């Protein structure tokens, strides 16, 4: 009798997270128990940890109510880790979250319901709630209404890598993540924005779908932390602007023009992007230009990580 197909593969990438990993994993276990009618697997990618991350996972996996795979990826960077997870995953649907997130108990059932009746490839991103009220309200997405990505919207922030879901066939269509982008990479961030943008440019429907939810325990409680985070996002976005500067299918040039206009308006009006956080459009534009220049200085003119199919 052939093995039962895997309905959903959850891919979690981690590096040196031994101290807080069990909270994330125990939430996965609770969601798996609520979805016993589904065939699930957890693909856990240890991205070169130097602490006990892998041992913590092995001990938890020994009694976990879900099939598990431990993958070791020595190439640094979130995109490389996610690519290793994609290659190892057996699921029809691939779901991604981070090691500082906790999925809701109905996470797997909500994902299965969202994709059950699709007749075409669709990429979806879910809701991200603030996990700890002491953390500043960033890197979350709390809108309660569904939305569809259009050419008038920026792919950045439309859906987040911490709660991104799509059929594995989508990766066969547009390739895997560009390893130059994302945490731990030369361009610091933007691997999820790039992937969303590539899917949209390929004619794939991209939706924000608030029914599957994770809590994000990001730990950023100082304004200085937000400034560093925002600078990294702007640097990555600038590199993306450079990557797609001459792609006629892309709306990235329009997004860059919007950012320039906002910086000019800020100079004229004196109204900042966020008075509370001390964020400005001018500083964002400066970091974006720095990212663009860094991309153009790069020896690579085309991503080697965007093949038309997954190479195993």
The one-digit pLDDT tens for each residue of the chain (312 residues) are 678 899 999 999 999 999 999 999 999 999 999 999 999 999 999 999 999 999 999 999 999 999 999 999 999 999 999 999 999 999 999 999 999 999 999 999 999 999 999 999 999 999 999 999 999 999 999 999 999 999 999 999 999 999 999 999 999 999 999 999 999 999 999 999 999 999 999 999 999 999 999 999 999 999 999 999 999 999 999 999 999 999 988 999 999 999 999 999 999 999 999 999 999 999 999 999 999 999 999 855 554 444 445 644
Q: Supply the pTM of this predicted model.
A: 0.94
> What is the pLDDT at residue 311?
47
| Cα–Cα dist 11/99, whole Å | 10
| Cα–Cα dist 292/207, whole Å | 28
> What is the pLDDT at residue 308?
45
Q: For CATH 3.90.550.10, list the domain ranges present in the chain.
A: 6-216
> What is the pLDDT at residue 302?
55
Is residue 288 a contact partner of residue 273, using CB atoms and an 8 Å limit? Answer: no
Q: Which class does domain 6-216 fall in?
A: alpha beta
CA dist list (Å): 151 to 123, 155, 196, 252 = 16, 9, 12, 10
Q: Name the one residue in this structure whose structure tokens are 């795979």.
A: 69
What would the 3-class secondary structure string for the chain be?
CCCCCEEEEEEEEECCCCCCHHHHHHHHHHHHHHCCCCCEEEEEEECCCCCCHHHHHHHHHCCCCCEEEEEECCCCCHHHHHHHHHHHCCEEEEEEEECCEEECCCHHHHHHHHHCCCCCCEEEEEEEEECCCCCCCCCCECCCCCEECCCCCCCECCECHHHEEEEHHHHHHHCCCCCCCCCCCCCCCCHHHHHHHHHHHCCCEEEEEEEEEEEECCCCCCHHHHHHHHHHHHHHHHHHHHHCCCCCCCCHHHHHHHHHHHHHHHHHHCCCCECCCCECHHHHHHHHHHHHHHHHHCCCCCCCCCCCCCCC
> What is the pLDDT at residue 160?
98
CA dihedral 26, 29, 34, 39 (to 10 degrees): 160
> What is the pLDDT at residue 310?
62
Q: Half-sphere exposure of 2 toward its Cβ, with a 13 Å CA cutoff?
A: 3
| Cα–Cα dist 28/10, whole Å | 9
> What is the pLDDT at residue 4?
86
Say what angle helices 191-201 and 223-243 make with each other, to 10 degrees: 40
Those residues whose C-beta lies under 8 Å from the C-beta of residue 220, and which sit 6 or more positions away, are 135, 136, 138, 139, 226, 229
């Amino acid at each position: 009798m052939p093995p039962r197909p895997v309905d959903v593969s959850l891919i979690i990438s981690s590096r040196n997270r031994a101290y807080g990993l069990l909270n994330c994993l125990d939430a996965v276990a609770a969601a798996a128990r609520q979805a016993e009618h589904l065939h699930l697997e957890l693909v856990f990618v240890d991205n070169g940890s130097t602490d006990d991350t892998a041992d913590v996972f092995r001990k938890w996996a020994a009694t976990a109510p879900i099939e598990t795979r431990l993958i070791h990826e020595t190439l640094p960077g979130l995109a490389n880790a996610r690519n290793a997870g994609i290659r190892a995953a057996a699921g029809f649907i691939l779901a991604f979250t981070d090691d500082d997130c906790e999925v809701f108990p109905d996470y797997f059932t909500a994902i299965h319901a969202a994709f059950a009746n699709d007749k075409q490839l669709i990429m979806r991103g879910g809701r991200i709630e603030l996990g700890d009220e002491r953390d500043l309200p960033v890197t979350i997405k709390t809108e309660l209404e569904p939305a569809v990505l259009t050419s008038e919207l920026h792919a950045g922030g439309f859906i987040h890598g911490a709660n991104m879901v799509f059929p594995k066939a989508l990766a066969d269509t547009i390739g895997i993540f560009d390893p130059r982008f994302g945490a731990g990479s030369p361009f610091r961030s933007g691997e999820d924005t790039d992937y969303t943008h590539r899917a949209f440019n390929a004619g794939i429907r991209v939706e924000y779908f608030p029914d599957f939810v994770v809590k994000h325990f990001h730990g950023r409680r100082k304004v200085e932390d937000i400034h560093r985070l925002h600078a990294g996002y702007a640097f990555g976005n600038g590199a993306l602007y450079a990557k797609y500067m001459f792609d006629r299918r892309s709306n990235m040039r329009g997004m860059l023009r919007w950012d320039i206009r906002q910086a000019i308006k800020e100079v004229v009006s004196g109204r900042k992007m966020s008075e509370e956080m001390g964020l400005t459009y001018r500083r964002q534009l400066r970091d974006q230009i720095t990212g663009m220049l860094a991309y153009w200085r790069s020896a690579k003119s085309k991503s080697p990580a965007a093949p038309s199919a997954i190479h195993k």
